[in-house]
Amino acid sequence: MAIIYNLFIGFLGSFIGVLPPGLINMYAAKISMKEGRKRAFLFSMGVCITVMLQTYIALILARYIGKHPDVVSMLQKVALGIFISLTIYFIFIAKDTRREIRDHNEHSKRNRFFLGIFIAMLNILPIPYWIYLSITFSAFGMFAFSQLELWMAVIASGLGTYASLSLYVQFFRPKEHSRKLSLNMNYVIGIVTAAISVITLLKILKEF
């Protein structure tokens, strides 16, 4: 039963996490429109490889935290710094997601798989996302950290990411979608990380 829970949470968690419009999925849709679905799917596979690696790292950290609750306080302070930095980045530094995505050279067009790996590496949000998700569901007895169950969740996270990106590749077109997407998604992410920063700060202050 634990394997089924991990598969379900791994797939659904990634699927929902990637579904909101952002740089990665809009990039996949644009590649599909300009260069064909085959290259867009290669890009998506590259993204999935990185997401699976990030999920694995996150679950290993979550398992360690579960066995060493004394490090939670220290990690809260580290997390606060990370989320404040992410808030500053996404609100003030990151490029507007409503801007045209341009290819800077022809070489990148021949390496969409590796481009997917690289772009996904720039997004570190899956790590704190999966740490929080796994610990939360583990508290309800719906997530296990044993080796087999952990790998099932990692594989499922890759499948969920691929399924979500496939929707953009198959059905969304940036030119049509850009009229509806009038909001810079980096601002949304920045607001979310700001809210998490406030919550984390309040938790730290309560301990004093």
For position 95, what pLDDT does the model report?
Answer: 58
The C-alpha R_g of the chain, in whole angstroms, comes to 18
Nearest residue to 66 via CA among 128, 160, 131, 150: 131
Residues of the chain predicted below pLDDT 70: 21, 69, 71-73, 75-76, 79, 94-110, 172-186, 188-189, 192-193, 196, 200, 207-208
The dihedral through the CA atoms of 83, 86, 92, 97 has a sign that is: negative
Tokens of 93: 């530094």
For position 85, what pLDDT does the model report?
Answer: 82
For position 106, what pLDDT does the model report?
Answer: 46
Nearest residue to 46 via CA among 147, 122, 143, 152: 122
Tokens of 184: 């810079």
Q: What is the pLDDT of residues 106-165, one digit of tens each?
A: 445 558 888 889 888 878 778 888 887 888 788 788 899 999 999 999 999 999 999 999
For position 178, what pLDDT does the model report?
Answer: 46
**Angle in degrees, CA 58, 139, 144, rounded to 5:** 55
Domain boundaries, the chain: 2-207
For position 46, what pLDDT does the model report?
Answer: 94
Separation in Å, CA 135 to CA 9, 157, 184, 189: 12, 16, 30, 22
For the chain, what percentages of helix, strand and coil (3-state, to nearest 5) are there?
Answer: 80, 0, 20
For position 84, what pLDDT does the model report?
Answer: 83
Taking the model in full, what pTM does it have? Answer: 0.69
Q: Which residue is associated with the tokens 């301990």?
A: 207
Q: How far is the C-alpha of 29 from the C-alpha of 25, rounded, in Å?
A: 6
For position 205, what pLDDT does the model report?
Answer: 79
Question: What distance lies between CA 112 and its chain's CA centroid?
Answer: 19
Q: How far is the C-alpha of 184 from the C-alpha of 35, rounded, in Å?
A: 25
